[in-house]
């Protein structure tokens, strides 16, 4: 069995989510858009799931748009809104590519810098905001280094300096750890992805507050009140709702337990590996993130050695691993390239145990030493 420390890439499905999905892969196969008994049964499951998702995100059921994952939710927020209201798009320099590339594709993009702690520079963000801005997108928590953004301050700034703009937050990495319902209360749009919190892959949601219009980016039968066409992934949506419920129910306890494991891992590695540097301010990071960089090491080679030792980790975000370029997140934080290429993300989750941490504490220092001496 591998020691899985890549929960930010994806995390195992919660048993509750699997159980919730099974009937919709079998006898409850209906298409909720129909009107007969079989369709109505599926429709009931869909609307029950919508209520659960809405409540977990602090939204009304009608504000929830089901999507095919986090990338689509971010794209709908950025491109769907930009189609309604043209203007400049502002986002932080450390957004996931689902936001960064969507903004770049839409039009004039302004990037708000972050400090060396991975937290957005509010003064600089304020300077980018004016009456020409249509969409502002600031993630709640970063996927690589785990930093949590001061979202209430961001929202206040946006309302003051760019009152006509719509504010989106990518809460994909935040949901397992943070009370998104309250932290993102000031956002006009909120994106989540099921597979980051124990639901299936390829399902997500975008909250679009009442009164905020988005144009569809997928055209067809007009599902989701014409905001997202396509036959519903009923099983996936039911699984997402069950995973959300389970996550919210034990989130406080999970954060307590996992942050203690993470602290042990990070502190242990910092003391065992000479020159190891932790990314971001630990007090402003999600509980599951342990991100370190090592000079004199190439992360890809480190991952190979760790894989051989039975440890699954990531060099940056999963979506960009394989690239030899330093990540855009570390570059934006001012991490020098020679250290950024030696960055390791160990991300913990609900299923992480002390034994996982012990194995990593054993394997990482020896792998780094081996690479440095070769």
Q: In whole angstroms, what is the distance from residue 79 CA to residue 217 CA?
A: 7
When asked if residue 285 is in the footprint of ligand PLP (CB under 6 A), the reply is no
Classify residue 47 as exposed, middle or buried by CB count within 10 Å of its CB (0-12, 13-18, 19+): exposed
Q: Which stretch binds ligand PLP (CB under 6 A): 20-28, 67-75, 153-161, 346-354?
A: 67-75
**Residue-wise burial string across 123-144, b where 16 or more C-beta atoms lie within 10 A, e elsewhere:** eebbebbeeebbbbbbbbbbbb
Measured from the CB atom, is 139 or 242 closer to ligand PLP? 139
- The minimum distance between CB 373 and ligand PLP, in angstroms, equals 34
> Binding to ligand PLP (CB under 6 A): which residues in 200-219?
204
When asked if residue 69 is in the footprint of ligand PLP (CB under 6 A), the reply is yes
User: Which residue of the set 91, 103, 290, 319 is catalytic?
Assistant: 319
- The minimum distance between CB 372 and ligand PLP, in angstroms, equals 30
- The minimum distance between CB 218 and ligand PLP, in angstroms, equals 14
When asked if residue 7 is in the footprint of ligand PLP (CB under 6 A), the reply is no
- The minimum distance between CB 1 and ligand PLP, in angstroms, equals 24
Residue 22 CA: distances (Å) to CA of 12, 15, 58, 197, 230 = 16, 11, 27, 18, 21
- The minimum distance between CB 147 and ligand PLP, in angstroms, equals 12
> Binding to ligand PLP (CB under 6 A): which residues in 72-131?
74, 96, 98
- The yes-or-no answer on residue 319 being catalytic is yes
Measured from the CB atom, is 296 or 322 closer to ligand PLP? 322
> Binding to ligand PLP (CB under 6 A): which residues in 316-355?
317, 319
Q: Is 66 left (phi over 0), alpha (psi -120 to 50) or beta?
A: beta
Measured from the CB atom, is 146 or 216 closer to ligand PLP? 146
Q: Which residues pair with 278 in a beta bridge?
A: 292
Measured from the CB atom, is 289 or 317 closer to ligand PLP? 317
Classify residue 61 as exposed, middle or buried by CB count within 10 Å of its CB (0-12, 13-18, 19+): middle
Measured from the CB atom, is 149 or 293 closer to ligand PLP? 149
Tokens encoding 25: 């892969």
Residue 214 CA: distances (Å) to CA of 3, 54, 318 = 42, 18, 29
When asked if residue 170 is in the footprint of ligand PLP (CB under 6 A), the reply is yes
Please identify which residue in 46, 111, 136, 172 interacts with ligand PLP, judged by CB under 6 A: 172
Please identify which residue in 11, 143, 147, 233 interacts with ligand PLP, judged by CB under 6 A: 143
Sheet holding 166-170, edge to edge: 64-67, 204-208, 189-193, 166-170, 133-137, 88-92, 109-112
When asked if residue 254 is in the footprint of ligand PLP (CB under 6 A), the reply is no
Contact 139, 286 (CB under 8 A): no
- The minimum distance between CB 78 and ligand PLP, in angstroms, equals 12
Contact 90, 129 (CB under 8 A): yes
When asked if residue 71 is in the footprint of ligand PLP (CB under 6 A), the reply is yes
DSSP letter string over 70-112? HHHHHHIIIIIHHHHS-SEEEEETT--HHHHHHHHHHS-EEEE
The CB-nearest residue to ligand PLP is: 70
- The minimum distance between CB 99 and ligand PLP, in angstroms, equals 7
Q: In whole angstroms, what is the distance from residue 153 CA to residue 241 CA?
A: 30
Query: Going by DSSP bridges, is the β-strand pair 133-137/88-92 parallel, antiparallel, or unpaired?
Result: parallel
When asked if residue 6 is in the footprint of ligand PLP (CB under 6 A), the reply is no
Q: Annotated catalytic sites, by residue?
A: 319
Q: Which residues bind ligand PLP (CB under 6 A)?
A: 69-71, 74, 96, 98, 139, 143, 170, 172-173, 193, 195, 204, 317, 319
């Amino acid at each position: 069995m591998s020691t899985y420390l890549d929960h930010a890439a994806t995390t195992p499905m919660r048993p509750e989510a699997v159980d919730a999905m099974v009937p919709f892969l079998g006898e409850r196969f209906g298409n909720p858009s129909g009107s007969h008994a079989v369709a109505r049964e599926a429709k009931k499951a869909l609307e029950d799931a919508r209520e659960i998702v809405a409540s977990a995100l602090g939204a009304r059921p009608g504000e929830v748009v089901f999507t095919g994952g986090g990338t689509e939710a971010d794209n709908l927020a950025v491109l769907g809104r930009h189609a309604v209201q043209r203007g400049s798009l502002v986002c932080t320099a450390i957004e996931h590519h689902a936001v960064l590339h969507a903004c770049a594709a839409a039009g004039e993009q302004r990037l708000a810098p972050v400090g060396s702690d991975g937290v957005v520079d509010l003064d600089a963000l304020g300077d980018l905001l004016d009456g020409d801005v249509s969409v502002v997108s600031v993630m709640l928590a970063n996927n690589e280094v785990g930093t949590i953004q001061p979202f209430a301050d961001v929202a206040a700034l946006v309302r003051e300096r760019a009152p006509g703009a719509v504010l989106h937050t990518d809460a994909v990495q935040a949901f397992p750890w943070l009370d998104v319902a309250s932290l993102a209360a000031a956002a006009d749009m909120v994106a989540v992805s099921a597979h980051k919190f124990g639901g299936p892959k390829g399902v997500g949601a975008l909250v679009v507050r009442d009164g905020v219009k988005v144009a569809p980016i997928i055209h067809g039968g007009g599902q989701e009140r014409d905001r997202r066409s396509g036959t519903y992934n009923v099983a996936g949506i039911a699984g997402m709702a069950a995973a959300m419920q389970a996550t919210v129910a034990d989130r406080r306890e999970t954060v307590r337990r996992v942050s203690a494991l993470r602290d042990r891992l990070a502190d242990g590695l910092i003391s065992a590996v000479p020159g190891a540097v932790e990314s971001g301010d630990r007090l402003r990071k999600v509980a599951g993130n342990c991100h370190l960089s090592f000079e004199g090491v190439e992360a890809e080679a480190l991952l190979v050695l760790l894989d051989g030792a039975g440890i699954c980790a990531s060099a940056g975000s999963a979506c960009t691993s394989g690239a030899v370029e330093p990540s855009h997140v570390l570059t934006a934080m001012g991490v020098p390239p020679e250290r950024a290429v030696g960055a390791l993300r160990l991300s913990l989750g609900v299923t992480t145990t002390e034994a996982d941490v012990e194995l990593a504490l054993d394997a990482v220092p020896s792998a780094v030493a081996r690479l440095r001496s070769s």
